[in-house]
Structure formats: structure tokens, C-alpha cells
Amino acid sequence: MGWSSAELHVLRGTSLTPAAWDVIVRVSVATSPDIAIAARHTATTETVDVIPQFGLDPGREYVVRIDASQIPTTTAATSRSSVPTVSRLTVPDRPVSAATQVTAIYPSAAVWPENILRFYLHFSQPMSGTSAVGHVRLVDDQGADIADALLEVDVDLWSGDYIRRTVFFDPGRVKRDIRPNREMGRALVAGRQYAIVVSREWRDSTGQSLGEEFRHAFTAGPAVEEGLQLSEWTLSQPSAGSRQDLRSVSVAPRRRSAPPCSRRHARRWHARGGRGRCGARRKILDIYSLGRLGGSPACGRCVDPARRPVGQHGW
């Protein structure tokens, strides 16, 4: 229906309560026509705007009831019939789009170091921005969840466009010599197989679930304790005037040249029933533990159970 200029003038100049507005203009769900939706009413020079407090549901039918005879000025309402005008409307359904998918995970390698701290999930469309808790899991080679592996915090770790999500392993278990690490150890153990699983129930910005569950299988490798050597990186530069990608290639940090440990080397130390690790052979040496040593270890890469270099820290 159209509003007269006199009616709009009165509505603009009158302070009405929400209940009074609902008597004049009421929008309700078709299945509950007597209950008005929560909304704010505003009269302009041309019409009356009804602004819902919450978005209308796509596909749902609503009833709009207008009773201009209830405008609180007799002269403005004298020409109006006392019979309200009732209209029905349905909000169009959202266009059906392709289901959102996990398009990539980084690192994408098949081997992750056991002390990896974070990884990144990329999606084909914007996500809802909700937490990853309950949607991203670390499982072992039998499909069982690894408890307390990922950092469960309700913090916005999304990119600005909600396409990329950062997920952290629990830093307390990753970093050495702090309580969670000492009591529980790292979630990843070198040599074992794992998978990152993203639940299909995670919803995108339109409220739709992901198209399918995502799984990235990998093997845990030895911890990377050395810093990056940028001098060992190479760049593959694109041709001038082209749209080729700029690619970088990095190599693993160089290991110090050292002879591998041998059983003879291991027996040099006083065996006391503990365990140590040789970085040169990347294996646990069960046949020795570390007592007070004299001199330096043969290979320079052996560490005690707390990962302290042999021959240092008083050993």
C-alpha cells in the first residue's frame, strides 16, 4: 500500500514505542502471524522501513500487516479504512553454489618434522570464521585421535578473507624443557604415521557444510633444530614481461660433517640404564646413558634424554 504524505509526516514527528509500531506495521512469520519479528521501524519522506534485528530466513514465508487507522492522529487517518492490509512474501532461497572444499594444506610435504608448530588450511570459498576446535584433528595410523595434540583456543586465526586458517600444535608439547613437553612429550614421534583430518561438519560463510572430509597423511620426521640458511635458497625467476610464477627452492640445513656413532663409541660412556640419541644416525641408542664425561663425543651430535649435547651442561 502507499502512504500519504500526511501519514508519513505524522509518523516522522511522533515518538512511537516498538509495541505501537507493531500495531501499525507488523511483520511476522506466516506460521505465527500474531507474533511480530524483532525489528526497528523508520519513517522516511516516501515510505516506512522495517529493519529486522536478525536476518530473514531464505525460503521462509512472512506476513506483513499494515493498519494505518492506528496512526495516533485522527486527521491523518480519517481517509483510511479500519480494515488492515495484509500481504504475504517469501524470501528467495540462496543460490546453490558448489560446496566449499579444503583446497590445500601447508606444509604439503609427506614428511613433517616432529617439532612442527603450525600448519595452514586453505579453502575454496570464505568460511564462517568459527574456531577449528572440534573440526580439525590429528589421528594416528589406526585412525585414533591423538589427545591434546592441537592448541584448542577460540581465537580468530583466519586470514582477512576467511580463506586461510592457521592451526597450531600445542606449543607446550612442542617446545623443549617445559612442563607439558616433559610430562607428555611431543604429539608427533619421528618414524610414525599420522593424518590431519578436517571434519565435513565445518561450515562456510553461507552456513553450508564442507563438500567432503579432508585428510592429509604424513610421516613424522626428525626434529629440525637448526635455523634456515637463506644463502642456500635459490630463486627461479620468471621471464621478463611474462606471468610466470616466482618460485623458491630451499634445501635442508647442512649437517656438520661427523662420523656416525658406533657401538664402540657408545660404550665409551658409562651405561646407567638410560637412553640417549645420536643425531648423526638419527636413532635412539639404548645401550648407553650419560654419566659425567671427559672430553667431547666422537660425532658431536649425541644428546642426552633432555636433548642436551653430550659434553656440555656439566655432563
Q: What is the pLDDT of residues 253-299, one digit of tens each?
A: 444 433 344 444 444 433 333 344 444 444 443 333 333 333 334 44
Q: Which domains does the chain have, with CATH numbers?
A: 5-90 (no CATH), 102-224 (2.60.40.1220), 260-315 (no CATH)
Predicted structure pTM score:
0.52
Which portions of the chain are predicted below pLDDT 70? 1, 73-81, 94, 96, 248-315
Q: Residue 285: beta bridge partners?
A: 276
Tell me the per-residue pLDDT of 195-211, one tens digit each, with 9 for 90 and over: 999 999 999 988 889 99
User: What is the percentage of the chain residues whose pLDDT exceeds 90?
Assistant: 45
**What is the Cα–Cα distance from 125 to 163, expressed in whole angstroms?**
6
Specify whether the CB–CB gap between 23 and 55 falls below 8 A: no
CB distance 137 to 202 below 8 Å: no
Among candidate residues 16, 237, 224, the one with its CA nearest the CA of residue 115: 224
Q: If DSSP states are collapsed to H, E and C, what string results for the chain?
A: CCCCHHHHHHHHHCCCCHHHHHHHEEEEECCCCCCECCEEEEECCCCEEEEECCCCCCCCEEEEEECHHHCCCHHHHCCCCCCCEEEEEECCCCCCCCCCCEEEEECCCCEEECCCCEEEEEECCCECCCCCCCCEEEEECCCCECCCCECCCCCCCECCCCCEEEEEECHHHHCCCCHHHHHHCCCCCCCCEEEEEECCCCEECCCCECCCCEEEEEEEECCCCCCCCHHHCEEECCCCCCCCCCEEECCCCCCCCCCCCCHHHHCCCCCCCCCEEECCCCEEECCCCCCCCCCCCCCCCEECCCCCECCCCCC
Strand pairing report for 214-221 and 111-113: parallel
State pLDDT tens for residues 142-157.
Answer: 999 999 999 988 778 9
Q: Cα separation of 41 and 55, whole Å?
A: 15
